[in-house]
Structure 1
Amino acid sequence: MSTDTRPAVLFVCVHNAGRSQMAAAYLTRLSAGGIEVRSAGSEPADQVNPAAVEAMLEEGIDIRRETPTILTTEAVKDADVVITMGCGDTCPIFPGKRYEDWELEDPAGKGVDAVRPIRDDIKRRVEALIAELLPTGN
């Protein structure tokens, strides 16, 4: 059991290569360490989506070294908030956890021009999440 008192957020999508990686990177950057951030996928890809990498580099955030990770029951148990992004019924449900499903277009197979609006939507949602979880601004 961790003694960390920060809220913990887990982002989950199928491949953990686009949406969840962008969301985790934004939350890490914008919360300035005030929130514990993780991401995972039900069927992780071999690498992060290159178009997502390029779109995030435009924002000054480098996710090139991130690695898609398999979703585990432990990761869900350790999270206070679980945000799913199109992973369907593969995410385990535990009582007392806050779950949100963010309906976002899947950036898989799309170029950076198509990924930018998805990225921008994710940023807006992450900013709203931070306002809820850290209402005093850290």
Structure 2
Amino acid sequence: MRLRKLSLGFLLFQVFLGYSFSPALAEKTLQKKSATEEDLFLYRAIGATYICVAREVDIEFSKASAIAAITYVNLLEGKHGGKIKVIGDKELSRKELIVGANNQLIPAAVEYCPDKIPNKTKKDVEKYLKELKKKTKRK
């Protein structure tokens, strides 16, 4: 056991030392690719499915949707550095990502499991989608 800890410590020290002498290598390793449309579609499906499953086992909607949104945001921050390809190189703030996550996940949950979503939320989503459709037509 002690040898294992010593070996792990030595290995981590070598990695750290390598990054210290090669900042370009460290920077390249730490660069993260922006989330693609496919990535967002997958994360949306995962989050909406989580909401549906959580509601199935009687977890209240606000808790289920909050956990799903935070998970979505954690994926975007961890894997993509908070960047989304269609937006560009801008790293989005956590607050912006949470708003975006809710705008993606809640309508998807309404689509996937409408019987598990509170009526007020379904009405709000319908209103939001109508407004979004109007804005899209104007452009």
**What is the TM-score normalised by the length of structure 2?**
0.27
Q: Which has the higher strand share?
A: 1
State which structure, 1 or 2, has the greater radius of gyration over its C-alpha atoms.
Answer: 2
Q: Which has the higher helix share?
A: 2
Higher-RCO chain (CA-CA 8 Å, sequence separation at least 6): 1
